[in-house]
């Protein structure tokens, strides 16, 4: 836990300023007032806004861009279980206890057992809450392991629960609820609009007022330290410059997210992004004005993490600096810094999630993963974030998938399947063609990859014995999910964090420390900061140890609503 960062310190890396302190909040100059002010309008922010409005509070929401946040950009997955309406329609049996027992292994105490159990036991009601506000789901089940369900499927195992070692702890159940959409989009990014758009429409019907393209620079407190409002900068919406700024910023974001940073041509797209962003910044600097909004009941910080702030990543989580940022440009750490500016404590800032998904095609996970020394380190069918975590945290960010000739050919065949989305198929194709080493023998393969030959050969021998059922697998991998590495030529695919053609997506999991019953931001001594709440990736939450698909979105909904309930009481 750390409370040392403050505005003006060496590693602040943010536009956030020191708070303004009012001797008399009632006599302050306010441009607008509301009971509840939400800073950041993604999944957590919109959930907080709806809950607050339904409890009778007036709500103003602020967003640096158009709203939607990283939730709108993701694959539209909500992690839920315990017998949700969708699971029941699909004929799936699940219980809150099984969900709790499974998540105990994933969360590793990052939240209390009481909070985790509350999350699991409220999971059924959460899906009902979303459905009642216009979010659609579908009970079509995909029962096999995958990183993302094929077209036409919406309920799947979005975690490691099917791995033999995990299944022995808790009965598996498909808990990844992909939202239903009439859209024919073929990408995992952007599908989350089917989650955030209905919620934003519901909030608008409730009278929630949204200010887009608003940069909150400063919190405002009274003399006792209670947060009573925010100071933001915004181009007046009736100004001709506002529309032009929005256009330029949209172009900057489009090119920023177009290609992974390490991909060929990414330098061009990133350059175009910087060009449009510079024009937008120049226009904003010329035309924007300060606005001050009073928050009578509280402010909720829900502005995402800090993965799009390279200086913060390099300082707090240097192991991950070569990863590909996953999220949106609003994930610049400003929400976290706002909380710290008034004394809020942070934790796990060094902790990020790295997504090394290799399946589908399933054959990629049938091979053997080894680290930079040639030593195997995980059940290869584990959820991608579990693989990425082990690889970056404990293996120096280096890893290879070892295949033999027959498995290599099998994967090529699987790539022709109509079940694969382009975002699953294309990286695998590139890796098989350009991010590989090939050799006639394992000794030669080890030399080409810089691995210890004796270690690699020993690992392959042990792996093959487990595949043949002659010995238990060292990591509990089922023989049904494995392929003997026996027939040359042999291949090794570079899946390291630095792999140029197999980028490793990352997102930040650390943030503000909050009271787990209310979402109130806490100081280093555990005392709550009056009037200030945090939710989603601004705060430590359910997924702040190890991510599984949909768990961040579910935590956003859970923590956003929690903050609103506390503010309204």
101-128 pLDDT per residue, tens: 999 999 999 999 999 999 999 999 999 9
Token pair, residue 391, equals: 């690889």
Query: Residues 385, 508: contact at Cβ < 8 Å?
Result: no
- Which of 371 and 182 is assigned the larger pLDDT? 371
What's the CATH fold of domain 20-74+202-233+288-353+509-538+553-568? FAD/NAD(P)-binding domain (3.50.50)
DSSP assignment string, 317-339: -GGGTTSEE-S-TT-SSHHHHHH
- Which of 546 and 458 is assigned the larger pLDDT? 458
Residues 397-401 have a mean pLDDT of 97
Token pair, residue 309, equals: 């702030």
* Per-residue pLDDT at 189: 57
Q: Name every residue whose Cβ is closer than 8 Å to that of residue 277 and which is 6 or more positions away in sequence.
A: 248, 249, 252, 256
DSSP β-ladder status, 528-534 and 289-301 = parallel
Residue-wise pLDDT for 217-257, tens only, equals 999 999 999 999 999 999 999 989 999 999 998 898 888 77
DSSP assignment string, 202-243: HHHHTT-EEE-SEEEEEEEEETTS-EEEEEEEE--TTSHHHH
Phi/psi for 15 (5° steps) reads -80, -5
Q: Name every residue whose Cβ is closer than 8 Å to that of residue 338 and which is 6 or more positions away in sequence.
A: 16, 39, 216, 218, 219, 301, 303
Burial class (CB in 10 A: 0-12, 13-18, 19+), 263: middle
Q: Name every residue whose Cβ is closer than 8 Å to that of residue 459 and which is 6 or more positions away in sequence.
A: 368, 370, 374, 375, 376
* Per-residue pLDDT at 4: 66
Token pair, residue 441, equals: 């023998």
Token pair, residue 419, equals: 């079940």
Residue 332 CA neighbour count, 13 Å, CB half? 15
pLDDT-based confidence at residue 326 (cuts at 50, 70, 90): confident
Q: How many residues does the chain have?
A: 569
Is pTM beyond 0.75 here? yes
Supply the DSSP symbol for 30.
Answer: -
pLDDT at 162 over 60: yes
pLDDT at 166 over 70: yes
Domain at 357-494: CATH architecture: Alpha-Beta Complex (3.90)
pLDDT at 520 over 70: yes
């Amino acid at each position: 836990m750390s409370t040392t960062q403050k505005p003006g310190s060496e590693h602040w890396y943010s536009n956030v300023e020191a708070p303004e302190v009012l001797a008399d909040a009632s006599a302050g100059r306010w441009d607008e007032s509301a009971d509840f002010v939400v800073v950041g309008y993604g999944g957590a922010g919109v959930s907080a806004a709806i809950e607050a409005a339904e409890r009778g509070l007036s709500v103003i929401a602020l967003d640096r861009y158009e709203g939607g946040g990283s939730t709108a950009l993701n694959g539209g997955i909500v992690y839920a279980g315990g017998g949700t309406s969708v699971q029941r329609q699909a004929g799936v049996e699940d219980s809150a206890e099984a969900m709790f027992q499974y998540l105990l292994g994933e969360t590793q105490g990052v939240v209390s057992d009481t909070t985790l159990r509350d999350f699991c036991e409220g999971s059924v009601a959460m899906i009902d809450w979303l459905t009642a506000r216009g979010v659609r789901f579908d009970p079509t089940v995909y029962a096999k392991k995958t990183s993302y369900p094929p077209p036409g499927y919406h309920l799947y195992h979005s975690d490691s629960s099917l791995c033999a070692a995990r299944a022995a702890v808790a009965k598996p159940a498909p808990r990844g609820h992909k939202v239903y959409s009439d859209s024919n989009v073929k990408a995992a990014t952007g599908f989350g609009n089917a989650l955030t758009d209905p919620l934003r429409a519901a909030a608008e019907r409730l009278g929630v007022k949204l200010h887009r393209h608003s940069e909150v620079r400063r919190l405002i407190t009274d003399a006792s330290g209670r947060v009573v409002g925010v100071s933001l900068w915004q181009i007046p919406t009736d100004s001709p410059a506002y529309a032009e700024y929005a256009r330029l910023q949209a172009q900057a974001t489009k090119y920023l997210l177009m290609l992974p940073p390490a991909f060929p041509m990414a330098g061009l797209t990133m350059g175009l992004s910087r060009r449009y962003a510079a024009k937008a910044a120049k226009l904003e600097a010329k035309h924007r004005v300060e606005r001050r909004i009073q928050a009578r009941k509280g402010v909720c910080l829900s502005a995402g993490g800090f993965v799009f702030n390279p200086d913060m990543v390099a300082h707090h989580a240097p192991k991950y600096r070569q990863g590909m940022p996953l999220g949106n440009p609003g994930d610049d750490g400003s929400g976290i810094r706002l909380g710290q500016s008034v004394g809020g404590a942070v934790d796990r800032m060094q902790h990020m999630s790295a997504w090394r998904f290799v399946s589908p095609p399933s054959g990629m996970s049938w091979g053997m993963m080894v680290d930079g020394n040639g030593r195997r380190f995980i059940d290869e069918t584990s959820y991608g974030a579990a693989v990425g975590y082990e690889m970056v945290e404990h293996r120096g960010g280096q890893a290879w998938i070892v295949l033999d000739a027959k498995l290599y050919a099998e994967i090529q065949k699987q790539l022709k399947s109509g079940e694969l989305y382009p975002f699953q198929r294309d990286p695998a194709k590139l890796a098989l063609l350009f991010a590989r080493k090939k050799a006639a023998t394992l000794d030669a393969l080890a030399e080409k990859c810089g691995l210890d030959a004796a270690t690699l050969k020993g690992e392959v021998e042990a792996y093959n014995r487990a595949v043949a059922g002659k010995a238990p697998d060292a990591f509990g991998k089922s023989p049904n999910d494995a392929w003997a590495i026996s027939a040359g030529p042999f291949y090794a695919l570079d899946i390291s964090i630095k792999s140029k053609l197999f980028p490793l997506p990352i997102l930040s999991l650390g943030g503000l420390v909050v009271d787990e019953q209310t979402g109130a931001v806490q100081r280093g001594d555990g005392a709550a900061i009056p009037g200030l709440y945090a939710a989603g990736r601004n705060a430590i939450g359910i997924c702040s140890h190890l991510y599984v698909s949909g768990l961040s979105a579910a935590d956003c909904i859970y923590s956003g609503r929690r903050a609103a309930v506390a503010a309204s009481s």
